[in-house]
Amino acid sequence: MTNDYPSYLLEKAVEAFNSLPGIGRRTALRLALHMLRQPNDDVARFCDSISQFREEVKHCSVCHNISDNEVCDICSNPHRDKATICVVQNVQDVIAIENTHQYNGLYHVLGGIISPMDGIGPSDLTIEELVERVASGEVKEVIMALSSTTDGETTRFFISRKLEPYNVTITTIASGISVGEELEYTDEITLGRSIVNRVKI
């Protein structure tokens, strides 16, 4: 199917877009031809934004979130509670939690989750760095905000064990029914957990 395109340059552009996750060849063709209709400067700016991001973006030396500086805006914000660390899998999760406006502590981005199936072990993540942060003594609570999956459970268990020697409260975000969800359609495991973890009103 490589000789479909009337131009080698078009083919390379389609291949480029096709290499992105979730973008098939048909959409890739549409995107490439869309580029052709944009002014040259806009396309140059598109490419610059992406390559500059790839080349220049840093990770915060404290929490490993994406950052423009050595230490990110959250870690360097004097108004945030430095005694609480929320452990998350990736950058998207930081953005998602920040969007709730319900959390004022710091984060720790693991950079993934322990997954024997995908060959990701504890040493591939920033778990040692988390232990160091906790060992420094300033931290009082570590909130585990990991997915409710087997890999999430494994990672939570592993980190909890690592943090046992330190005088720190370990919590996990609540499982339960979604806001606006009907009981009838909630799966039994989630519903069961929401009963076990009931809260006083």
Residues forming the site for a copy of itself (CB under 8 A): 4-10, 12-13, 15-17, 19-22, 27, 29-36, 38, 40, 42-57, 65-68, 72-74, 90-92, 94-95, 98-99
Q: Which candidate, 55, 56, 74, places its Cα nearest to that of 64?
A: 74
- Closer to a copy of itself by Cβ: residue 42 or 81: 42
Question: Minimum distance between the CB of residue 163 and a copy of itself, rounded to whole angstroms?
Answer: 25
- Closer to a copy of itself by Cβ: residue 92 or 149: 92
- Closer to a copy of itself by Cβ: residue 117 or 196: 117
Question: Minimum distance between the CB of residue 183 and a copy of itself, rounded to whole angstroms?
Answer: 29
Question: Minimum distance between the CB of residue 198 and a copy of itself, rounded to whole angstroms?
Answer: 33
C-alpha to C-alpha distance for 83 and 168, rounded to whole angstroms: 10
* CA atoms within 13 A of residue 121's CA, in its CB half-sphere: 1
| Contact (CB, 8 A) for 67 and 115 | no
Question: Minimum distance between the CB of residue 60 and a copy of itself, rounded to whole angstroms?
Answer: 8
Strand order in the sheet with 169-172: 105-109, 81-88, 141-144, 169-172
Question: Minimum distance between the CB of residue 41 and a copy of itself, rounded to whole angstroms?
Answer: 10
C-alpha to C-alpha distance for 36 and 30, rounded to whole angstroms: 10
- Closer to a copy of itself by Cβ: residue 90 or 194: 90
- Closer to a copy of itself by Cβ: residue 16 or 83: 16
Token pair of 184, please?
Answer: 């009838």
Q: Which candidate, 198, 81, 193, 26, places its Cα nearest to that of 14?
A: 26
In the DSSP assignment, the letter for residue 120 is B
